[in-house]
Amino acid sequence: MLAKRIVSGLLFLPVFYLIVWKLAPLYLAVLVVIAAAVGQYEFYRMAQNKGARPLSVLGMALGSAIIIGGFYYRIPSDGGLLLYGAASMLLITGVRLFSVRSVDGALEDVAATLLGIFYVALLFGFQVGVRLGGDGKQWIVFMYFVIWATDIGAYAVGMSFGKRRLYPKISPKKSVEGLAGGLLFAAVMALLCRVWFMPPVSIAEAAGVGLLLASAGTIGDLVESMLKRSAGVKDSGTIIPGHGGMLDRMDSMLFAAPVLFYYLMFR
């Protein structure tokens, strides 16, 4: 399993570097649209496992629309999100109202469809918002490196020294020691990123943002674990060898990206 995770990561790194560092932001937006659609598909499969029947195609279309809108019109930062949310609500409830399905389960169907849009697609889309900002490519790479370091530190320290369970009802394998290791690795990686490609950022800011993103990412990881446990599944999917599904790989990014986006907005 560990070997598969390492190979998957090594294969992804060149693609990630090319798209984020060398190409225009449009290419990252396309990648995020694809990743979000896969993540929504996995989420809707989990919802079906609980008996809901989300409007998957409509939900994925609206999810893609919010990311594309964020690229062209900066939806998260200009108030357009309220209009988008209202339109999504009207469309989804209207389509469910006039569908041939029984009224039974309508609440679950609508709720699952909306949650798939706003939990998966909207939160995925904040990566595009970060990329479009000042020094966007540096901050995107910073975020990914910090989250990856957090995962590695939590896994290595937790496996070696983990004794006290962090949140056993959600994730029995995570430990307090693993969390401490993840935060330490995140701070070190943040400082290395500052040396490598973000010299204008102060040492204090780099370390502080690194710890902030690591904390947000840990919560994102636990949230996805909660949803999977509720749905009775071990992994959200099987698309990434050694990691499971898209949501399994990107759960930390879902929470870290909006935190970084709004930090940079009010910085």
Environment class of 108 (CB within 10 Å of its CB; exposed 0-12, middle 13-18, buried 19+): middle
Mean pLDDT of the chain: 89
Exposed e or buried b per residue across 186-213, where buried means at least 16 C-beta atoms within 10 angstroms of its C-beta = bbebbbbbbeeebeebeeeebbebbbbb
**Strand, coil or helix: what is 74?**
coil
Q: 266 vs 94, which has greater pLDDT?
A: 94
Which amino acid is present at 220? Answer: G
CB 183 within 8 A of CB 166: no
Residue 192's H or E segment, with its range, is: helix 176-197
Position 145, amino acid: F
- The whole-angstrom separation of Cα 127 and Cα 30 is 11
Amino acid in the structure at residue 205: E
For the ranges 14-23, 57-66, 232-241, the maximum mean pLDDT occurs at 57-66
> For the chain, what percentages of helix, strand and coil (3-state, to nearest 5) are there?
80, 5, 15
**62-87 confidence digits (pLDDT tens):** 999 999 888 876 655 556 677 788 88
| Range of lowest pLDDT (54-63, 172-181, 233-242) | 233-242
Tell me the mean pLDDT in the region 204-221.
97
What pLDDT is stored for residue 2 in this prediction? 47
165: Cβ–Cβ under 8 A, 6 or more apart, which residues? 172, 174, 175, 176
Q: Report which DSSP code applies to 234.
A: S
Per-residue pLDDT tens over the stretch 32-73:
999 999 999 999 999 999 999 999 999 999 999 999 888 876
Over residues 180-191, mean pLDDT:
96
Listed by start position, the domains of the chain span: 2-266
What is d(CA 67, CA 48) in angstroms, rounded to the nearest whole number? 24
Whether pLDDT at 233 is above 90:
no
Q: What is the pTM of this model?
A: 0.90
- Residue of 187 and 133 predicted with greater confidence: 187
Q: How much is the pLDDT for 73? A: 65
Pairwise pLDDT comparison (91 vs 77), residue with the higher score: 91
Taking alpha carbons only, the member of 160, 158, 167, 68 closest to residue 122 is 68
